[in-house]
Structure 1
Amino acid sequence: MAGFWGRRRREEEALAAQDADLARRAEQALVAADERIRTTSDELAFAQAELGDSLTADLKAALDAVRLHLREAFQLHQLNHDEIPDTVEELRTRNARIAQLCEWAESLLDEKTGTLAETIAKVRRAPEVTAQVRRDAEALGARIPQARDTIARLSSRYSETAMRRIASSGDEAEQLIAFATHGADVSERRRAAKQNEEANLALETATEAVRRAGAMLDAVEDFEIQALRAESTLANVVADSRGDIVAARNAPQTPEVTAAAAALEAALGALAPTGTPNDPFAELTRLRAANSALDDAIAKAQYRMQHPLPSVEQVQHALDDADRQLGVARGLIAGHRGWIGADARTRLAEAERLRVDVPGMISAEDTREQALSSARRVAQLASEALQLAQRDIDSSRPQQQPWGGDGWGGGGRRSGGGGDIVSGVLGGLVIGSILDGIFD
């Protein structure tokens, strides 16, 4: 008994220490949050003077919300120290709420002041960014004549469809550069007018315009390299395709192989004559597709030659065999339900599920192999269900005893023999006292 009271006293002392620590943390958090509000208010005033009201609106709204909720925290702290006695539970609940409110306030102010710091840094870097935009625009403008000369030179070698991706790149890049310069001017004027939000937007737009103009001019230079690579690859694919057409003559002559070979020959015949403008990208795409189609058709024909498609009769015979085995398994399990375990029942259920889908797959050639495989799987599962069911019956069948012999205990009660056999056969149809009455 002394040990019980000693343990309880230690638990009470530990809980009192926790409450005291919570009260101390609540007071410290309240002081820190109040001081944070005052500091952030000063930061907001400086930011409003530099950025204006629009870019500082989020921080102002956060400060207003924090002040509102911190009033609740001060009220709870006052209740802890008024003249009205409080229970331990009341003090604990208030201090936990104070700590929660102060933690939320600190977190919200951290988020908003961090965002505002990024905005301030962006505004302060604006002159540097504007100068960089002007330098980039000037450098890109100097590349435009060279880009136009490249486009003109390549237009004599490649077709209009190939050149479509870069034909207007020079003009579009020139327009983007002019827009970027104009955006930089607008940004400077808006910043001088203390309209920092509009100034930032204009500067971001100018920066994006310069980036896009540079990407367009780079694409003109890259186009020639990509086109030369496409031409080299096209020559290899042409040689490979001609070899595939020859190989197709020795492949099984199915309709698919014949059609695919004809399509590949047509794609080869549609190539632009040597020395005329062409589109190596489009030609390579078409030729690759036709080449792959012929490869697939030959592979399918060779597979079919090695694995002939089963006839409808073969599948139907397999399905008939599966149905016979299903019938035997189904009858055995239905007749001995009381003894059949989960394994046999599961095999039978899976076989019946697969059996439902087989008829719809027999007529179509694409699914006939699957139909034969499914029919064989049904037969296998039915056979397994039959074997498992027989195993369950053999393991559960009691030692046979004559009716009324030693298998019956005194007072007409069953101890084995015929009663248990009937119980296993009938399963849930005849149970408990009914069986007892029969054998009594």
Structure 2
Amino acid sequence: MELVIPILVSVGIVVAGVGVLIGVLRSRASKQTAVLASQAQAELAQLEQTAGSALVRTDEKIRLAADELGFAAAEFGETAIGEFTAAIGRARQRLAEAFQLNQLLADHIPDTDEQRRDWNQRIIALCESADASLGEQVSAFAARRAAARATPAAIERLVGSVALVRSSLAGPSETLQRLAERYTDAALAPVAGNPAQAARLLDFAGRSAEVARSRLAAGREDEAEAAVRAGDESVHRASALLANVESFEVEALRAESTLAAMIAESHAELAVARAIPAAERQGRLDDAIAALEASLAAVPVSADRTDPIGALTSVRQTNTALDDAVAERADRAERQTRLRTQLVTAIDDAELQITAARDVLARTSAGPDARTRLAAAEHELADLTTETDPERALGRARRAAALANEAALLAHQAAQSGYGGYGYPGGQQYGGQQYGGRQPYPGPGYPGGSGQGPYSRPRGRGGDGMGVLGGVLGGLAIGGMLDGLGDLGDFGDFFD
């Protein structure tokens, strides 16, 4: 009894402590939950305030944009405000959807926190999209208005540019006259008409300036601005044409330098190509050699008027054609080497298959089909000595192996069908096991091997248990070992 009381007191203290701990933990969890709920409500309140501000801002922007649309129509015409009108229509549709969502939030039906969050976010997105569309149009018309105000100055700038470029027409014309002493008419053809074309473009730019003045005086600022833009573009093109004349000489000098290197390279490649045996050059390679030689012969001597860019183009093209032909010949030679390597393996395979087939036919009473295929295989192998094409020789070697394989398979099937028996004393079997202490072809494609190879035929019944049983029984019969064996009824169960 004296021990029970202290124990009960201790248990009571522990229970009380656990109760206090649980109470503290529950209090903390409750406080954390309250804090999180308070934060979530504060975030929702901030989101609702942002959405409300967005509604007010977008509504005001649409009203201002409608006023701007009226000013733009009066200033630039109805045809110029089509996209602006469409943008305002799209903005109003988005604002209407946003107002509908806000109405759902304000009605008497309670909404979940998730709904409040989603709808307010949607309101903000709709308002931002409408604002962006309107902002693009307002900015575009502001830029047009600024350009219209700047049109008078732009016209004067255009007139000055036309005069400046026109004063430089003489230089390119003189350059062309000097270049004509060194280069052929064909070489100068890309730039020969540039000064005259530039003069026509400058005339057009001058007329554009006059049109811009008249449209500006009539209050048609957009047409005046368009005329100035067309004139500026014409002046820019004229300047580029004249600059091309001056840069042609530099390009021609670079072409002459590159042509000299290309000619030296071509002569070296021609020497290599001519060293290839004539029999291997026939066709594309000979044609490529002749074409490159003709291109080199057409290059004029330095004392004549030349076309370095055209000559370089011609030599480069024929040089590339020769490179391609030589590469094709190299690929062909590589293929011949690969075929010869494959041919050695194929001949070894054919000889092995023929030897194995001869062994099978010698031990069985094979029919005419098996013997015919063996004879055909031997004929294919014998004819390889006169075959000069490695690809055709490879095909014949593979056919020889396949025919010998078929001959062995047919002889094997005939033996299992009762024609002459099929089995040999000493456990000699044909069907993937040892044959006379060796495997004639221990790989795919041979009857009884590890599978059907690329030149083999289906084995039919050659691999099933009863086929092996037939071979065993045949061997027993030949060896005179059936006497005294009694009932063999259970022997077949071994193969079930």
- Whether 1:272 and 2:295 are equivalent positions in the alignment is no
Q: Is the Cα–Cα contact under 8 Å of residues 336 and 390 in structure 2 kept in the other structure?
A: no
Percentage of identical aligned residues: 34
Tell me the number of residue pairs that the alignment of Structure 1 and Structure 2 aligns: 337
What does residue range 68-83 of structure 1 map to in structure 2 within 5 Å? 68-74=93-99, 77=102, 81=106
1:139 & 1:166 partners in 2: Cα distance? 21
- Whether 1:218 and 2:269 are equivalent positions in the alignment is no
Alignment correspondent of 1:327 = none
Alignment correspondent of 1:433 = none
What does residue range 185-196 of structure 1 map to in structure 2 within 5 Å? 185-196=210-221
- Whether 1:255 and 2:281 are equivalent positions in the alignment is yes
Q: 1:98 aligns with which of 94, 111, 123?
A: 123
Q: 1:87 aligns with which of 96, 110, 123?
A: 110
CA shift for structure 1 position 298: 5.3
1:96 & 1:43 partners in 2: Cα distance? 29
**Structure 2 CA distance for partners of 1:382 and 1:111, relative to 1, 3 Å:** farther
* TM-score normalised over the length of structure 1: 0.62
**Structure 2 CA distance for partners of 1:109 and 1:252, relative to 1, 3 Å:** same
Alignment correspondent of 1:310 = 337
Alignment correspondent of 2:207 = 182
What does residue range 130-279 of structure 1 map to in structure 2 within 5 Å? 130-250=155-275, 253=278, 254-255=280-281, 258-279=286-307
CA shift for structure 1 position 176: 0.9
Alignment-mate amino acid for residue 272 of structure 1: P
Alignment-mate amino acid for residue 309 of structure 1: Q
1:304 & 1:316 partners in 2: Cα distance? 16
CA shift for structure 1 position 172: 1.1
1:75 & 1:127 partners in 2: Cα distance? 50
1:63 & 1:318 partners in 2: Cα distance? 81
Q: 1:116 aligns with which of 132, 137, 141?
A: 141
Name structure 1 gaps, 5 residues minimum: 325-364, 372-380, 388-440
**Structure 2 CA distance for partners of 1:151 and 1:74, relative to 1, 3 Å:** same
**Structure 2 CA distance for partners of 1:206 and 1:318, relative to 1, 3 Å:** farther
Q: Is the Cα–Cα contact under 8 Å of residues 252 and 302 in structure 1 kept in the other structure?
A: no
Pairwise CA RMSD = 4.4
Q: Is the Cα–Cα contact under 8 Å of residues 55 and 197 in structure 1 kept in the other structure?
A: no
Q: Is the Cα–Cα contact under 8 Å of residues 191 and 199 in structure 1 kept in the other structure?
A: yes
What does residue range 314-353 of structure 1 map to in structure 2 within 5 Å? 315=342, 318=345
> Relative contact order (alpha carbons < 8 A, sep ≥ 6): 1 or 2 greater?
1
Alignment-mate amino acid for residue 310 of structure 2: A
CA shift for structure 1 position 137: 1.5
**Structure 2 CA distance for partners of 1:121 and 1:367, relative to 1, 3 Å:** farther
* Deviation sequence 1:318-376 (CA, Å, 0-9, x none): 5688999xxxxxxxxxxxxxxxxxxxxxxxxxxxxxxxxxxxxxxxx9999xx9xxxxx
Point out the more displaced range, 120-129 or 106-115.
120-129
SS at match of 1:309: helix
CA shift for structure 1 position 227: 1.7
**Structure 2 CA distance for partners of 1:12 and 1:163, relative to 1, 3 Å:** same
CA shift for structure 1 position 36: 2.5
Say which one has the larger Rg.
Answer: 2
1:59 & 1:366 partners in 2: Cα distance? 77
CA shift for structure 1 position 218: 0.8
Alignment-mate amino acid for residue 290 of structure 1: T
SS at match of 2:159: helix
2:189 & 2:215 partners in 1: Cα distance? 39
